[in-house]
Structure 1
Amino acid sequence: MLAFIIQRALQAALVMVVMSMIVFLGVYAVGNPVDIVIPPDATIAMREEVIRRLGLDLPLWKQYGIFAWNLLQGDFGRSFIYNMPVLELIGGRLPATLELVLISILFATVTGVSLGIYAGVNPESRIAKLIMGLSILGFSVPSFWVGLILILTFAVHFGIFPAGGRGETVMVFGVEWSFLTANGLSHIVLPALNLALFKMAMMIRLARAGTREAMLSDTVKFARAAGISEATILRRHVLKLISIPIITVFGLELGSTLAFAVVTETIFSWPGVGKLIIDSITVLDRPVMVAYLVLTAFVFVMINFTVDLVFALIDPRIRSGRQKS
């Protein structure tokens, strides 16, 4: 097990090094932040001073070297626009994104797996066909369109939920959370639902396919022959058999939802990291853009690393097979 962990950790480190290079070079090629940071009426001397202060006069390889060295020390640099440490800037927006993502992905997983198992156990029922039809709709409709429809329906027409913003927050362990207040919870319903629909559709189809396959397995047949109830079979056997693909999708979707909540946060004016990165792209705030993309890559790498470890704990064949290879 130790050799497996070391192997995966080295692979994760290599991926992060390569990703940091790609991100840095890609962001460097996008526009010139000096044109935005410096006012149009600035003198040549002022312009040269700002370029020198921001380190943009150095060769690209040297800029990356400074960035990588600071990154190893946990320093992501300072924002060109906000003039504050990037990590502090992102950290102030991260709780809003985290609570939105966690609520949406948990809702999507619990609801999607439950509906998918039902559709897999009763494939010919009308409810199962309705569930699968809704899952196709969840795949097909763009999230920005769904968000606008949710606002028009539940915020404008019925006036049940707010159209945007985060609402009231409460401080817990030095961090502000909105889902712990009634007003904040009402603000999070629509964006969380919008963010969860696509993930829920994916979970429904994955759970249904896994359940249909598991119900035909020898394990389930022997359990039925032994007189075990259907509820117990679903809980003890079917869930275990379909757990690996569900854990895989859960991990990947958690990372993708955290990384790509930009559209939802923009539509609902949710003050999270996604909205911050959109604003930073608009003003070419390179340190914020690079930090966001590097942190996003780090989240994906760590999630994949964790999922691999969970696989190894659930199924020893995976661990032994990878160690032999």
Structure 2
Amino acid sequence: MITNLIRRGIQALFVIFAMTLIVFVGVNVIGNPVDILINPDLNQAERLRVMQNLGLDQPLWRQYLSFLAGLAEGDFGDSFVYGRPALGVILERLPATLELALAAMVIAIVVGLPLGLYAGLYPDRLSSKLIMTGSILGFSLPTFWVGLMFILLFAVQLGWLPSNGRGETAGAWSFLTGDGLRHLILPALNLALFKTSLILRLTRAGVQEVIAQDFVKFARAKGLLERRVVLVHILKNLMIPVVTIIGLEFGSLIAFSVVTESIFGWPGMGKLIIDSINLLDRPVIVAYLMMMVVLFVTLNFVIDICYTLLDPRVRLDGKG
């Protein structure tokens, strides 16, 4: 097991290194931030001075080496727009995005897992068919449209919940205050809709696959309580694909919450990266993309560890 995890760790480092090259080159061949950040009335000498201050006068390969050196120290350079370290600008917005993603994932797990388990155990019931029909709607409805309908219904028509912002915060978190929690409900529900449907359908498919296995039939033939059969024999064996989806989808919630944050005016990283792309703020874009790379690599590594804990066959393969 230890050898397998060390091998995965080395692979993860190679992936991160390869992505540094892809991200840096991809971002730096897009446009010229000088054309956006500098007054066009400035003369050539003043433009050259600004480019030198931003480090844009160096060859691309030298900029990449400087980027790698800074990356080793956690330094992505200063933001062209904010004039502060790019990583610090992103970390200021991280708690908002992280809070929204965690809330959405908790909703998706709490709602999707039990409903999927129920629909898989009792597929012929009318309630199960209604649950699966609802999951299709969760897949089909566009996130931006659902968000606008949430605002129209719950904020404009009923006036129950606020339509934008984070509200009052306690430290870096809004869910610790009543006003902040009210601001969190609508964007979290909107972001969780697709993930809930995904976990629900995956859980249902896993239940129907596991329930036909011989060890489940044997457990029931022994006279075990149905609750023990479901929790110990069925749920544990279907959790491997579910854990994979939960891990990867949590990363996607953080990386791709742009639409929800824009609709609800949520001051997170998604809104920041859109503004940075419009202004060609390269250090912020690169820092954000590298954070997402590290996030997904780390999540995959954690999922590998969860595999070894959930499935003894993985541990045996590692020993082999």
Same fold (TM over 0.5): yes
Match of 1:17 in 2: 17
The AA in structure 2 aligned to 1:137 is L
- Per-residue deviation, 1:193: 0.4
- Per-residue deviation, 1:224: 1.4
Instruction: For structure 2, list consecutive stretches of 5 or more residues without a partner in the other structure.
Output: none
- Is 1:310 matched with 2:310? no
Cα distance in 2, alignment partners of residues 317 and 209 from structure 1: 21
Cα distance in 1, alignment partners of residues 29 and 174 from structure 2: 38
Match of 1:185 in 2: 181
The AA in structure 2 aligned to 1:93 is R
TM-score, structure 2 normalization: 0.98
Cα distance in 1, alignment partners of residues 259 and 317 from structure 2: 40
The C-alpha deviation readout for 1:151-178, integer Å capped at 9, x for no partner, is 111111111111110000002xxxx100
Match of 2:270 in 1: 274
SS in structure 1 at match of 2:68: helix
The C-alpha deviation readout for 1:22-46, integer Å capped at 9, x for no partner, is 1111111111100111112212111
The AA in structure 2 aligned to 1:53 is N
- Is 1:29 matched with 2:25? no
- Per-residue deviation, 1:322: 4.8
The AA in structure 2 aligned to 1:220 is V
The AA in structure 1 aligned to 2:263 is I
Further displaced range: 32-41 or 184-193: 32-41
Match of 1:44 in 2: 44
Task: Name which of 226, 234, 239 aligns with 1:230.
Answer: 226
Cα distance in 1, alignment partners of residues 319 and 153 from structure 2: 54
- Per-residue deviation, 1:310: 1.3
- Per-residue deviation, 1:119: 0.3
Match of 1:7 in 2: 7
Runs of 4+ in 1 over 6 A off after TM superposition: none
Cα distance in 2, alignment partners of residues 17 and 320 from structure 1: 30
- Per-residue deviation, 1:323: 5.7
* Identity score, percent: 54
SS in structure 2 at match of 1:170: coil
RMSD: 1.1
The C-alpha deviation readout for 1:283-321, integer Å capped at 9, x for no partner, is 110000000011001100000011011112222322342
Further displaced range: 259-268 or 230-239: 230-239
Match of 1:254 in 2: 250
User: For residues 9-158 of structure 1, what are the structure 2 equivalents within 5 Å?
Assistant: 9-158=9-158
TM-score, structure 1 normalization: 0.96
The C-alpha deviation readout for 1:196-218, integer Å capped at 9, x for no partner, is 00000000100001111122122
Cα distance in 1, alignment partners of residues 294 and 54 from structure 2: 25
- Per-residue deviation, 1:111: 0.9
Instruction: For structure 1, list consecutive stretches of 5 or more residues without a partner in the other structure.
Output: none
Cα distance in 2, alignment partners of residues 195 and 277 from structure 1: 18
The C-alpha deviation readout for 1:229-275, integer Å capped at 9, x for no partner, is 22221111111011101100011001111100011001100000111
Further displaced range: 211-220 or 298-307: 211-220
- Is 1:298 matched with 2:294? yes
Tell me how many residue pairs correspond in the alignment: 320
Cα distance in 1, alignment partners of residues 198 and 188 from structure 2: 16
